[in-house]
Structure 1
């Protein structure tokens, strides 16, 4: 078993990247959905663009900070387990600590001999830090989260900046959003081994319902 400072993903995982893009997309769609085709002029469109970008900037910052908080908490939890195993009075107690830390699904897959082998590796480690800390890669990942949330704003609002007809721009914006939702769902499905096309359709339907709910609730 390794400590989080040593064993970590240098960049965001696929699930993180897709999730942040879709989150930013849904936030932008909540603004686009509030536009009235009959009443909106260029001034209203500009205000929508600024509001959507500002909202995603704010939520991108919040997401990035919370990612760092979650990272240090998870890392501290694992490091606490490592220290507890090393300080256990007997090998059996150390193995019990490791076993309790496993998920319900993994518990039945690990035998006692394997737990003991892990415990020995934990005890033999000489480079275990006293406290968890953030690494440069964590800051890069947080920056990536911020950028993903912000970048997701542009595909659905650019039609309003490039087209004079609001109705056409809104239709194109919705089409782009549906395509992005579908592609995001496909990526989720392939990552989970669930099936790309089916997951894409489910995500498209789910995203559409979420946008409707956001608008109805005044978001």
Structure 2
């Protein structure tokens, strides 16, 4: 050691938040389950299984694409809202008007945690920014995040449909698929519970039960 302290490198921000990653995985899983749940143990042959496999994959490819596009739209909309706020604060006639604009943008919970002095400090930093883009833009990381959304939805298809492709007995394949689905739902709930600070085991069990109910609702509605 030389006595000099190396500056710690800033942690890289993940492409997607834990909620986004788990939510997209669970969405793809539930969509796939709506197909595997419709497989008849007594009537399904290899041709029907093949149709189910490609139908589930095709559905999740389509919805993965839709979710990825909507992620980009949401990102642009959020940045546009932020730029509008930034420009409004900078264009305010005086400091009091700027604080009022900034204060109205705070959520009810945040408004109770931020003092007037802190609001003013934020306003000063916003006004002091050297330049402000005229419109929201997208970067390479945004496109990578959209691709990640697509991948999470599509990849979630395979664990629950592969048993039908790998096993000759449809009844066994359906039982394995259900077990895998319940495990994925439980793990997804476990992750959400840990992220939110709740009892992770309880949330895992709750998600497994909720997923089962949602699949039933999807099938009942013709999904």
TM-score normalised according to structure 2 size: 0.94
1:27 to 2:31 alignment: yes
Distance 2:35 2:220 in 1: 12
CA root-mean-square deviation? 1.0
What is the rounded CA distance, in whole Å, between the counterparts of 2:78 and 2:42 in structure 1?
A: 50
Task: Write the distance in 2 (CA, Å) between the matches of 1:92 and 1:25.
Answer: 51
Separation in 2, partners of 1:19, 1:136: 23
| Cα separation, 1, equivalents of 2:77 and 2:112 | 27
**Consecutive unaligned residues in structure 1, runs of 5 or more:** 1-7
Confirm or deny: 8 A CA contact 1:159 1:173 kept in the other structure.
yes
What corresponds to 1:208 in structure 2? 212
In structure 2, the partner of 1:170 is 174
Residue 113 of structure 1 pairs with residue 114 of structure 2: no
CA deviation after TM superposition for structure 1 residue 99, in Å: 0.8
1:184 aligns to 2:192 (yes or no): no
Contiguous gaps of at least 5 residues in structure 2: 1-11
Q: CA deviation at 1:130?
A: 1.1
Name the residue aligned to 1:92.
Answer: 96
CA–CA separation in structure 2 for the residues paired with 1:21 and 1:99: 36
Shift of 1:9: 4.8
Contact 1:10 1:138 in 2 (8 A): no
| SS state at 1:34 partner | coil
Q: Which residue of 2 aligns with 1:42?
A: 46
